[in-house]
Structures are given as C-alpha cells and as structure tokens.
Structure 1
Amino acid sequence: MGSAPAGIAEADWQATPVAVRAFIVAQQQENAELRNQLTALATELASLREQVGRSSRNSSKPPSSDGPGFKPPARRKGSGRKRGAQPGHPGSGPELLPIERVDAVVDHHPDACRRCGSLLAGEDPEPLRHQLIEIPPIAPVVTEHRLHRLVCPCCSTSTCATLPADVDASSYGPRLSALVGLLGSAFPLSVSKTQALLDQLLGVAISRGAIAAIRQRLSAALAQPMVQALEAARRQPVAYVDETGAPTGNADGGNPSGKRGWQWVMVTPVVTVFVQGLSRSAAAAMELLGHGFGGIVVSDRFSAYNHLPSQQRQLCWAHLIRDLRAIAERSGASAEVGHQLLELQHQLFGCWHRYREGRIDWSGLQHSSRPIRQAFVATLQRVVDLGCNRGERTPWASTVRTCQQLLQRSDALWTFLTTEGIEPTNNAAERALRQSVIQRKISHGVQSRQGAICRSRLLTVTTTLRQQGRDVWQFLEQAWIAHHRGGVMPSLLPAL
C-alpha cells in the first residue's frame, strides 16, 4: 500500500491490516477531492458575490443600472432646516431686462394720498419696475412661389419660370430646418415628439420622413465645419477621450454585418468632436485621434489606447477609484490592500483640491504628492510580488491582475502631476457622452450609417458651441444657407 501517510509512523502503518490501510487511503483521497471542491465552490461564491455587488461605485456600470436594492453611500446629515432660502436671506427676483429689450412702457401713478386722500401729481424719478414677459402668438410665415409656364407666340415653345437662387427647393426654410436639427441634438427629442412640438407650438404639420430628410440635408451642410473641427482637435495639447455603445441599423446598407456601433468623443479645450463607427478597437481610436497626434490623451484603461506611449497618457482616476472600491469590498488580504490604496488616493486628491483652490502652488502640489505616489506604487508592487497561481480565479488573483495592469501603466497614472493643465479624471468626456446616451435611450439608436454620421455632426456642433457660449440655432441656420445658397460657411473654431 506504499509508504505511511503523514502523521502515522511507518512501523504502525505496516502493522495495520491491508483492508484498513486501503480504507484510510480511500478516505484521504476523498477528503482531498472534497477540499478541492470546497475551494472551487468558495472561489465561485466569492466571484458571484462580487458580480452581484457590482454597482456604479465599484465598476464601470452606469448609475441608471443600479437596481432598486442598491444602497448609495450615506449622505451628510442634514441641518434639519427647510430647503431653500432661510429667514433673513435678501432673496432675488427675476432679472430685469435692459431698457433696449423693453417693447412697451406703461406708467402707473397713484391718484391720492393713501393717508389723507389729497390728490397727487408729478413723476417718480426712480419708480419701481415690474416687467411682464409674454410670448406672442406664433404662426409660421408661408410664402407661395408660383412658377408660370408661358408659350412662345413665335415658335410655340413653352417655358417655365425657375425658382430664384435664394429660394430653397425644399418646402422648409433655413430657420425651420435648423430648429428641426436643434430638437434632435441640443434638445434630444424623438422624431415623434419633434413632430408633435412643431405642430402644437408652430402650427407646422411635418411628416417623420420630412424630419429625417431635413436632418440629412443639415448633415451635408455640416460636413465642412466637422472636418475643420476634427483637424483642430487633433492639434490640441490634451484630449479627453471616451466611447459608448450606439446601435446602428442597416437601412442604407452601410452595416450589412449588423455590428453594434460605437459613439466616440474627443473633448479638447477648443472643440468637442463626436465620431460614430462600427468598431471599438485600437484602429477606431487611431482614426479618431489621427496617426500623428502629439498631445496627451486622458482616458480609461481600455486597451484601444495602448498604442500611445505612457508619457502621452493620463489614466482616469475616477475609473481607478471604482476598481479600488471593488478590491476593498473583497475578503481577506484584498480588502486590506484596497483600503490602503483608497486611503492613499484620498490623500492624493486632498493635495489636488488644495492646488485647485489656490492654497498651494504647482511646486507645492508636486512636493506634497511625491511620498503618496511612492507609497501607492510600492503597495502595487508588494501585491504583484506576492502573486498567485497562473490561471487562478480567486478574488486575490483578480486583485493581483488589477495591480499588475496598473504597474504596467504606472507612469500614465501621474501625468497630471508632471504636466500642468491636465485633469486627473476623464469626467469631461463622460459628461459629453451623456447627451449621446440620452438619445440612445430615447430612440434606441439610428437606423443607418448616414443617420449615425448626422447624429455625430449635430452633437459636435451643439456641444462645441455650448462649450464656447455661442448660439447653436443661429449657427445651424447660417450653415444651411451657406451650403444650399452659397456664401461663407461658419466655423466651429472660436474667433481669435
């Protein structure tokens, strides 16, 4: 039966009957199998618990996916006072418009003294001002162009008049067309709600097909400003980049394989550009950034950006914090490491906020954050050194893999501390994508590649002009006129 099991003397083992020895060996084998099964089940249970516990605070899931059972972090205890202005607050009414915006002035004078009844006369040099703002009845202006066909008295040839160059062949003018584009981008209404609003507010009955056609014509008008904006974005020193799913149909044959579609965004100090494609890959990221992009890219740890060197990247700490929370919520050594890293992150952002508030300068930020950075990297290295078995699927193995990924891109964690003007999070890109996500939830995506291009161009225009504080409706109207009637195309770049 072989040598004696651990804990049993060899002489005693040899003196044990053969049947008993066989039974003991069988029991030991069964115990080993049960231990392996128990370990596998415990690992699976821990993994399932982690999946069930995933939320917007410890993963990349959006807040809207948090179920009804999700308990958000405890908020700061309220003061017990009612919401709004407190007693003694001076308050503020609606702002008075300047006098040049006032269409009519009506003066009101008291007739008699409120105390003795004596008649009053004269003018108050500084009367109390009350402005009443009202909207006049809205009605569309319809101009009918009649093209007469006349017959030549000499040769009997009929000749029909043509529309002047400044009259659109479309049934809808530039301002109305710009409004249709505006209601599908800056104000993300569905086609049916756009249709209802135009009918109820303006008295314009318009079909769903006409709305789609107007937006396609508007998309063609925005092609030149879009190219100009993308070229300008690729020349900027920093770009905040992100992507989200954007379902794309195959109504025009542009997506025969039925790919999901992705909306990419690049936020820069000058412009914000949206590009929708059918891929979420390194090639798609390079197509957005351009092959010669020399600035710094702020993004999450998605592998599509790994073609960039570390000195050209800043990893988003908002994403990283969620990963650290996930580590801290695991059991055993993972929880200890997670809490250590979260504490170091808290100290780091304490320094960052003091810098943003002007309490320390740039050199002070670098000096105070240096020991935190060293401790953070040392903690990651300690976890990687402890390691785990290759292919292991335990919570600890997940922690080790996360730390390995962070160490591989460690330099990209601290770019905001070495290059002034870089934000440590990718929040700007995520905020910009929110509009696209809302439209996706409302309309469930677009039905064609041309629809995807149209949506990207409208989002680029509306987001960029809002960023610059410019009038979106006026820009769309000018772009429509310049494209269909000729003239100077407006630019998305800010005036120098």
Structure 2
Amino acid sequence: MTELPPLDGLSHAEKDALIVGLWQELEHLRAEVEKLKQKRVKKTSRNSSLPPSKGFKPNQSSAQSPPPSDCQEAGSHHHGGRELSQQPDQVVVAQAKRCPHCGVEVDPSTQRLSGIYERIELPQVTPHITRVERYGGMCGCCQKTYEAPVPVGLEPGSPFGASVASLVTYLRYSHAISYQRLSQLMWELYGLKLSEGAIANLLQRVQVQLETPVTQIVERLRRARLVGSDETGARVNGKTQWEWVFQNNQVCLHLIRPSRGKTVIDTVMAGHQPQIWVSDLFSAQAAHPAHDWQVCLAHQLRDCQYAIDAGDALFAPRMKRLFLKAIALQRRRHTLATSTVEQYCARLRGSLREILNLKPKSIEGQRLLKRYQKIRAHLLLFLTDETIPPTNNASEQALRWSVIFRKVTNGFRSDWGAELFAQVRSLVNTAKRQGISAFDAISRALTSQQTDWLMG
C-alpha cells in the first residue's frame, strides 16, 4: 500500500483490517531498524586509525618465490649474487701445481680463473683497558700538594668510555634490549662485565650528555618553514603520557609529556610561526601556530573508506578518488611541465567544488561533507607548493619505533628514562634525515665530534 485509502468509505471490519496491516508493517520496519543498528561497520586499519595489531588479520596465501635470474650481478659468483668486496683484507690465490688426474706438473701461467668467492668472518672483540697511574706529591717550595694532569678522555670517574656508552645506548634504544640481556650480551660477546646497575648509571650520564645536541635540534626546529607533528601514547611510571614528534625533512624532535594539549606545541615552538603545519585533525594540532595548515590526507582516505563501507555511494567514493589523484600528481609533479601541473591542479580544485555541492543521504557521507566544507582550504594546500607533503606519514613513521618499544618494554619506570628515550629518538631520526646511521649519530654525540650536521 502506497497511499492511505479514504476512511469514510470503509466499514468497521475494513478499518480493523487496515489497522492490523499497518501495525504488522510497523513491527517489520522496527525489526529492520534494529537489525541495521546491530550491523554497524567494523573499524579496521583500512578504514580508520585503528592500528593493524588490533584489527582482524585474515590468513594470507603463501607467496611463491620468484625464479632465480639467469644473469647475476657483475662481481659475484655462485653464491646468491652477493657483491664482492672492493678491498678484501686478504686474497688467497689457489693454483694447481700438479694435474689431479695424472700427477704431471702444470704451468701456473696456463691456468685461467675458474671461480672467485669470499669467506667472511668476524674478528674476536675484546675490551681495550687503559690503566691510569696518576702521581702526585708535595711541592718543596710552597708546601702544597699536587697531582699530575691526565690526558683528555682519561679523567677520573666511570671506567666505561664513550665507545661502551655508545654501544649500550644503541642496543637499548634502537633494539629494545633489556638491562638483563644487555648485561649478558656485553659479557658473552665482548668479555665485559657490566651489571644492570652499571648500565643504569651509564645511561643516566648519557642523558646529561645528550642535552646539548637535543638543544641544537630544538633551535633548528624553531627556524623551520614547515613542521609536521603527531603524538602517540607512552607509559611512564605506570601512567599514560604522550610522546610528541615535530619533524620535517631535515630535523626531528621527540618529547614525552603528561599533556596532549596545545600547551606542548606552544612550549616547543616558543613563539615561532612556521609557514606550513602538517597534521591530523586532532584539536591540539588544529590550534597550531603556523600560517597555513595541510591536513593529512592519509587519515582522510581511511575515513572515506569507512563511509564507503557504511554504505555511502555518492560522496565518499568521489572524495577518495580526488585525494588519490591529488597525491599521485604531487608525487610526479617534478617530471611534468609547469603548465601541465597547473592544468591538473585547476581540474582537481574544480572537482573539489563539484563534490562539495553533492547532497549525500547516508549519515557517514553527511558527516564527511560537513567536515570537508569546514576545512576546505586545508585539503589541497600542497598543490600550491611541491615541498608540502600531502600526508603526515613522515611523523607517523618517526613514531613507529616508539610504539614497538612501548609494546616490548611496557613503558618507562623513571622520568629520566623517558627523557633519554626521546633524546635518542630525536638524535637518531634527525641523523637519518642527514644520511647518518643511528650508531654513528650516537657515537658522534657522545664524543663531541662532528656535530655540525645538527645545526644545519
């Protein structure tokens, strides 16, 4: 029944039948509504910010290894294509003196090279111990006591030098090795007895030493034109705090603070106003001090996917395609002529205007439309400048190891431990942007050698 029949012409029995029919239809619709309420779309790492570790992971089909290539790289022979070393420590020349078949002597000059390969071994590493015997006495002239000066780097104090501190710091904060396993590792591999208490004392001294390099990173960040930022949870003394990251393609700063509010950003920036801020839509990030703001499109792509999964077929699919096209253009714009890029950008902006004029009927589509109408100016800002990233993936990548470390260690048991972790991550991630390895960066910082790369 699509229209209500005239009630005046119906008998009492017909009216009763109509009421019963309408009631049955109402009950049926109520049941459908309840079923739809219970059938809510599940959030996964594909359609939300839910981490992959918490989402459902179906079994994957076993991937077959590709067949080996017929041609091997030059400089390799019969051993998996590994390149030969340019400067081997030792070369062994194997030439036959007699024929293995008949025993006749053979001329080495007539033999040709039939194979070349390498055997790699690690040398045994033992601690290098320097004992300092310091003398002193009493001056026969002024009758005052004195002690002989010692060479730089051999001052009294901890018996463990910078190389030991660098290795322990690297293993602890780049590989999440516990104090107990660190102590065992140092003894079994290097023959160095290092108790868990000695490791804690050593790392506390490292924390003080890294204050100056991290200060240089902060100063450089406060001169940056573009800053990307994100935050993730951290456990300190059994309580939830927040690890913040502020980064660009030259510098990276990590901080662990009790607050997730805007005050952390204000303290870090100290009045500096970057030209561009890149982040998600979290309220503290939205209150950034920069002149312009690029919203992370990686988050928006997942939100669009969630709306699609929830049944929106009008708005979210078009927005998702628009975002993907814009990101693809940004990745290859350096290969295109300026006029071509401008044409593509004009088309994308025109498409955005058309899509924002749509009238989606689904709740999730309406929610996205309302959001994008509000932040419209911050969706495609990166099209105006090729140095602006369309996503904040660099910030999330900088925090990825922090999440792994948190899961492995279950957090920090002291404030100085949390501070040291943030210092090391700042140093390592800044060094990575300069093409410097994590261990090399830690070693340089602890020996005060070649820290110019921190200043930019």
Q: Does 2:206 correspond to 1:228?
A: no
Paired letter, 1:438: I
Q: Which position in structure 1 is the counterpart of 2:66?
A: 83
Sort the Cα spacing of 1:16 and 1:317 in 2 relative to 1 into closer, same or farther, 3 A. Answer: same
Within 1, Cα distance between the matches of 2:237 and 2:266?
24
Give the deviation of 1:200 after TM superposition: 1.7
SS in 1 for 2:246: strand
Give CA deviations for 1:91-136 in whole Å, capped at 9, x if unaligned. 744334344xx44444443324689945425699999764433222
SS in 2 for 1:345: helix
Q: Which position in structure 2 is the counterpart of 1:393?
A: none
Q: Which position in structure 1 is the counterpart of 2:299?
A: 319
Alignment counterpart, residue 265 of structure 1, candidates 245, 248, 251: 245
Sort the Cα spacing of 1:211 and 1:36 in 2 relative to 1 into closer, same or farther, 3 A. Answer: farther
Q: Which position in structure 2 is the counterpart of 1:142?
A: 129
Alignment counterpart, residue 287 of structure 2, candidates 297, 307, 313: 307
Are the counterparts in 2 of residues 298 and 316 from structure 1 also a CA contact under 8 Å? yes
Are the counterparts in 2 of residues 236 and 269 from structure 1 also a CA contact under 8 Å? no
Give CA deviations for 1:379-425 in whole Å, capped at 9, x if unaligned. 23323xx67xxxxxxxx323312221122111111111011211211
Give CA deviations for 1:475-495 in whole Å, capped at 9, x if unaligned. 43443345xxxxx78345266
Are the counterparts in 2 of residues 225 and 492 from structure 1 also a CA contact under 8 Å? no
Sort the Cα spacing of 1:270 and 1:352 in 2 relative to 1 into closer, same or farther, 3 A. Answer: closer
Sort the Cα spacing of 1:209 and 1:30 in 2 relative to 1 into closer, same or farther, 3 A. Answer: farther
Sort the Cα spacing of 1:397 and 1:344 in 2 relative to 1 into closer, same or farther, 3 A. Answer: same
Q: Which position in structure 1 is the counterpart of 2:417?
A: 451
Are the counterparts in 2 of residues 235 and 295 from structure 1 also a CA contact under 8 Å? no
For normalisation by structure 2, the TM-score amounts to: 0.82
Task: After TM superposition, list the pairs within 5 Å mapping 1:341-356 onto structure 2.
Answer: 341-355=319-333
Task: After TM superposition, list the pairs within 5 Å mapping 1:24-423 onto structure 2.
Answer: 34=27, 37-38=30-31, 41-42=34-35, 44-46=37-39, 49-50=40-41, 53-68=42-57, 70=58, 82-83=65-66, 85-90=68-73, 92=76, 93-99=81-87, 102-112=88-98, 117-121=104-108, 130-145=117-132, 164=150, 166-249=154-237, 258=239, 260-308=240-288, 312-331=292-311, 334-355=312-333, 358=335, 360-383=336-359, 396-423=362-389
Give the deviation of 1:185 after TM superposition: 2.4
Are the counterparts in 1 of residues 275 and 291 from structure 2 also a CA contact under 8 Å? no
Are the counterparts in 1 of residues 315 and 369 from structure 2 also a CA contact under 8 Å? no
Within 1, Cα distance between the matches of 2:450 and 2:38?
61
Aligned length: 444
Identity %: 24
Give the deviation of 1:337 after TM superposition: 2.6
Paired letter, 1:109: Q
Within 2, Cα distance between the matches of 1:281 and 1:171?
43
Are the counterparts in 1 of residues 398 and 429 from structure 2 also a CA contact under 8 Å? yes
Within 1, Cα distance between the matches of 2:451 and 2:110?
49
Paired letter, 1:367: Q
Give CA deviations for 1:164-223 in whole Å, capped at 9, x if unaligned. 463341132111011111112233323333233212211223222322222221111011
Sort the Cα spacing of 1:352 and 1:204 in 2 relative to 1 into closer, same or farther, 3 A. Answer: same
Within 2, Cα distance between the matches of 1:109 and 1:440?
57
Worse overlay, 212-221 or 233-242: 233-242
SS in 2 for 1:57: coil
Within 1, Cα distance between the matches of 2:443 and 2:371?
49
Are the counterparts in 2 of residues 247 and 446 from structure 1 also a CA contact under 8 Å? yes
Give the deviation of 1:58 after TM superposition: 0.8
Give the deviation of 1:229 after TM superposition: 0.5
Give the deviation of 1:375 after TM superposition: 2.0
Q: Does 2:410 correspond to 1:432?
A: no
Worse overlay, 141-150 or 403-412: 141-150
Across the aligned residues of Structure 1 and Structure 2, the Cα RMSD in angstroms comes to: 4.0
Give the deviation of 1:147 after TM superposition: 7.0
Within 1, Cα distance between the matches of 2:308 and 2:208?
51
Within 2, Cα distance between the matches of 1:304 and 1:32?
49
Within 2, Cα distance between the matches of 1:479 and 1:57?
40
Within 2, Cα distance between the matches of 1:35 and 1:380?
36
Give the deviation of 1:454 after TM superposition: 0.5
SS in 1 for 2:454: coil
Are the counterparts in 2 of residues 310 and 411 from structure 1 also a CA contact under 8 Å? no
Paired letter, 1:402: L
Are the counterparts in 1 of residues 233 and 241 from structure 2 also a CA contact under 8 Å? yes
Within 2, Cα distance between the matches of 1:125 and 1:237?
62
Give the deviation of 1:265 after TM superposition: 1.3
Within 2, Cα distance between the matches of 1:248 and 1:412?
35
Sort the Cα spacing of 1:88 and 1:269 in 2 relative to 1 into closer, same or farther, 3 A. Answer: closer
Unaligned runs of 5+ in 1: 1-5, 251-257, 388-395, 483-487
Within 1, Cα distance between the matches of 2:144 and 2:290?
73
Sort the Cα spacing of 1:475 and 1:354 in 2 relative to 1 into closer, same or farther, 3 A. Answer: closer
Give the deviation of 1:63 after TM superposition: 1.8
Within 2, Cα distance between the matches of 1:110 and 1:306?
76
Unaligned runs of 5+ in 2: none
Within 2, Cα distance between the matches of 1:352 and 1:318?
14
